[in-house]
Amino acid sequence: MKKQTPLPPAGVRLTEGLAQRMQQLVRDKVVPYQWEILHDRVEGAAKSHCVENFRIAAGLSAGEHYGMVFQDSDLYKWLEAVAYTLEVFGDPALEAQADEMCELIRLAQQPDGYLNTYYTLCKEDGCAQKRQEGYEPCRVAGLPDGSDATGERLPGLGNRFGNLQQGHELYCAGHLFEAAAAYAAATGKRDLLQTACRFADYLVKVFGTGEGQLRGYPGHQEVEVGLVRLYEATGGKRYLDLADYFLSERGRKPLYFEAERKRKGFCDLFGQPALYLPTYAQIHARPVEQTDAVGHAVRALYMYSAMADLAALKSDPAMAHACAALHRSVTERRMYITGAVGSTHVGESFTGDYNLPDDTVYGESCASVALMMFESRMAALTGEGGPFDTVERAFFNRVLGGISLTGTEFFYVGPLAVDPAACRENPDLHHVTTVRQPWFDVACCPTNIARAIMSIGGYAYAEDGDTLYVNIPLAAEVRHAGHAVRVEGEYPYGGTVRITALADGQRVRLRQSGLAPAVALTLNGSPLPLAAERGYLILPELRLADTVEATLAMAPHYVAAHPGVTNNVGKAAVMRGPLVYCAEQADNGAGVAGLAFAEALACEESEAFTHDGAVALTVKGFKAAFAGDEALYRNALPVWEAAEIRLIPYYLWANRGEGEMRVYLNVR
């Protein structure tokens, strides 16, 4: 049993504050921009061809598939973001666009339910992508049935599922399932859900331990959370069982992927042997036995999310135990202060405990979205509020930092220390872009950010029967299934949260955040005791017009990392509530690394350059001044001159041109 369930977007109307502004940006800019992108109508952006692939597969257009094997997922994630947008804002014109896409997807579906434009269009040649890149084509299609290494290949599969490790068919399926469930919930229209179920039913036939079934599982996890969502949307237990199968089968020896790679005609799409490491795809052990977060961070966290779902829905204590260990591994030892995860670009992967370099970091936007998914599920699994600290950390810093103020440019990678010259000149940093990009060849992040922002209401507000959980106190009017409260305040900037009951008998639990803890609580102006249980403040049942006011600790303060984070010993970051701050060249001139905080924090707040309520900080500190010469090495320490250090919230960095940026600065 899940101990809390997110409220649907329709139940949470954000009324003010950063999250609301971001949702407006998604509606006004991001969704329309991405619509144009998916139709290849934005000049200067990487080519998408995503909609065109569907049109070709649907027989509405002629041509060849273009793009990655996972190109379809961009449309699915856009649709998911649109579903939330429609649910929050309503927009008939947008809904018409989305309906058109749902119909296009239906038309691209094969008669037996299979749905993937890449493998549908590349019938003759399983490696169209590589051919486009100038590689020799190699054949996957036309393998005699039953000829693969597992000996269990279904007749009639053709080129489908011949490269589960890299092919991403199940990954795309998962995003379709998430989009379909969201779209049905938002609009009541079930066409896309039916398309999704037809595909899912086909997968139920193809995959499993039964005779003639493929005993494979996806290289890139995602189908599992999608199947859970489909189960929750339809009640079809077979979908839950298939998710369970995928998780159970993973890591079973001998490894399916090793057999798959040896099959005659196997086409290696990526050609990087490091990506065959069992840890990369989390097949080094059965999920239930995993304890450390390893490998590709997005794959890992999508899988952990599904594990937490299954652990709750099937009341599986062993799986819950594994989830708890993985939760601790990520959040207590392998996560950046910004909620970024994945310390290396090699395999976009986790590395080791406390190995959190600020410049060579990967910290993909998608990984932090996936972290929000996993951690919110950990709260649902355990009933504890604590995991939402990580949801807030990831959302307000790394995820929001992934998108520009214009809504049309995006970061894939999330560095905490940037020297633009070094990023250009040192190949070890070539994966770090110093300015946001209009689109990507691998375009997973922009749509993921959009869907995360548009679904933030469900992270912020959840329910368990007649109890309403305020996980993130975003200003909102909340009305759903008997819950009726108004929450006011400028969170994450404002330090006051006011909860007013809009009906009698409101049972509300306000999360006691570790990042902005409540320090005082009143009911209709009279003090309440600050009693917390499992991470939630206990409030009395509210009658109509009762108002609870919480005062949050919002003073800026230093944060130091564990000494195992060797690159940051002696340094500190500044946080204010859930927001991590950074120093940018735009405010401080060149030489940001030469700034140092004073031991005692003396700090003034002011309006940030965005003039939207965001708070900038001016901190007393120092700047290293070196003797007048330009010597590379000098027999003297620098002189530290008093300096004011201007800090802005990390999520706002790189909105004023290219420049240096640092989260951690020296302290002296």
Catalytic residues: 348, 444
Residue 111: DSSP 8-state:
T
Between 388 and 469, CB nearer to a copy of itself: 388
CB of 591 to a copy of itself, least distance (A): 6
| Shortest Å distance, C-beta 567 to a copy of itself | 8
Can you tell me the distance from the alpha carbon of 252 to that of 109, in angstroms, rounded to the nearest whole number? Answer: 32
Strands 639-649 and 615-625: antiparallel
Q: Which residues contact 574 (CB under 8 A, 6 or more apart)?
A: 556, 557, 558, 559, 580, 581, 597, 601, 603, 617, 619, 647
Beta strand 507-511 with 467-470 is: parallel
- Among residues 399 and 561, whose Cβ is nearest to a copy of itself? 561
Q: Closest distance between a copy of itself and the C-beta of residue 3, in Å?
A: 25
Give least dist CB 588 to a copy of itself, A: 13
Determine the residue type at 281. Answer: A
Burial of 636 (0-12, 13-18, 19+ CB in 10 A): exposed
**Cα separation of 20 and 12, whole Å?**
11
Taking phi first (over 0 means left), then psi (-120 to 50 degrees means alpha), and beta for anything else, what does residue 527 get? beta
- Nearer Cβ to a copy of itself (106/620): 620
Question: Nearest approach, Cβ of 596 to a copy of itself (angstroms)?
Answer: 6
- Rank residues 3 and 557 by Cβ distance to a copy of itself and give the closer one: 557
* Distance in angstroms (rounded) separating the CA atoms of residues 658 and 644: 21
With vertex at residue 353, the alpha carbon angle to CA 352 and CA 356, rounded to the nearest 5 degrees, is 80
Pick the closer one to a copy of itself by CB: 64 or 353.
353
Which amino acid, residue 594?
G
Site for a copy of itself, rule CB under 8 A:
274, 331-333, 335, 337, 343-347, 349, 351-355, 357, 359-360, 417, 419, 421-422, 424-428, 557-563, 565-567, 569-570, 572, 575, 591, 593-594, 596, 599, 624, 626, 630-638, 666-668
Q: Say how many C-beta atoms besides its own lie within 10 A of residue 645's C-beta.
A: 23
Is the Cβ–Cβ distance between 172 and 302 less than 8 Å? no
At its nearest, how many Å lie between a copy of itself and the CB of residue 333? 6
Which lies closer to a copy of itself via its Cβ, residue 174 or residue 363? 363
Is residue 369 within 8 Å of residue 399, measured between CB atoms? yes
How many CA atoms lie less than 13 Å away from 480 in the CB half-sphere?
A: 22
Amino acid present at 240: L
User: Among residues 184 and 516, whose Cβ is nearest to a copy of itself?
Assistant: 516
Taking CA 470 as the corner, what is the angle to CA 465 and CA 474, rounded to the nearest 5 degrees? 140
Residue 583 Cβ, how far from a copy of itself at the closest point, in Å? 12
